[in-house]
Structure 1
Amino acid sequence: MKTIKNLIIGLFLVAFTLTATAQDKMAKADAVKTISLEQTKGEFTQKKLTLSEGTYIFKVSNNNAAPEVGLVLIEDGKDGSKPENHISEAYVSQMVKHGKTESSKEVTLKKGTYKYFCPFNETPEYTLIVK
């Protein structure tokens, strides 16, 4: 009898753990937001972004901007020409070719001001504000 009781408790704990893990994964997936950015020749079509604190994935589309484009995200006031100042998680997974879209890794942004640009399409630095 004691063995059956222990087995039932064990099964309950396994089921509870699996349910809690699944709910955590679903909550995290819901918390990640996607920001779509489009590049045309010499510019991003989105000139300024205002976001809330959180985790984001950046999707960058190349609308005949250049043979290949990308994304650099830096904290405002830092030198964007120095790779050590780049928020590397915001880099797209591979260079974005004409007519294609590529995504970054998950990027967690805290309150502050950031700049984003593309060195390959030679865009200006645009402002991204996180409130």
Structure 2
Amino acid sequence: MKKLISMFVLLLSVTFAAQAQDKMMKDAPTKVIALEQTKGEFTQKQIVVNEGTYTFSIANNNVGTDVGFVLVPKGKDISNPENHIKTAYVTAVVPNNTTGSSNATTLKKGEYVYFCPLNKTATDNVLIVE
């Protein structure tokens, strides 16, 4: 019986610790990842950040057309919208010589690729989350 109670207490401790960590991640301040697009490319090809919650600020630097932003876990099919991290989309297309932003996006450890389908940027830009 003591073993059963000990296992139950351990299980509750692990559950509460995981919930506390999730709450801390959600309550953590949102940081900004600023990216700039020029005609046909992002000026930042690789970014390294820590786990956390971020918004993406996307600057359209004289591209001549509207731009957007798509973030996908590395290795997933980028052409399939089901694989896109939708909270990372800019909230509206970004007109020439303006800046737009995404909603808050929680990033877990791993690698992601980002691109703009409107500006036809490369699809090998990498965001590394440590």
Structure 1: segments with no counterpart, 5+ residues: 1-23
Report the CA distance between 1:31 and its aligned residue. 2.0
String of CA shifts for 1:67-108, please: whole Å, max 9, x gaps.
Answer: 110000000001111111100000001000001111100000
**Amino-acid identity (%):** 53
| TM score, norm. by length of structure 2 | 0.77
- Greater Rg over alpha carbons, structure: 1
3-state DSSP of counterpart to 2:76 = coil
3-state DSSP of counterpart to 1:84 = helix
| TM score, norm. by length of structure 1 | 0.76
* Distance of 2:56 and 2:40 partners within structure 1: 19
CA RMSD of aligned residues (A): 1.6
Q: Check if 1:114 corresponds to 2:116.
A: no
* Distance of 2:39 and 2:91 partners within structure 1: 21
1:45 corresponds to which residue?
43
1:13 corresponds to which residue?
none
For the 8 Å contact 2:92–2:100, the answer to whether it is kept is yes
2:129 corresponds to which residue?
130
String of CA shifts for 1:102-123, please: whole Å, max 9, x gaps.
Answer: 1100000000000000011111
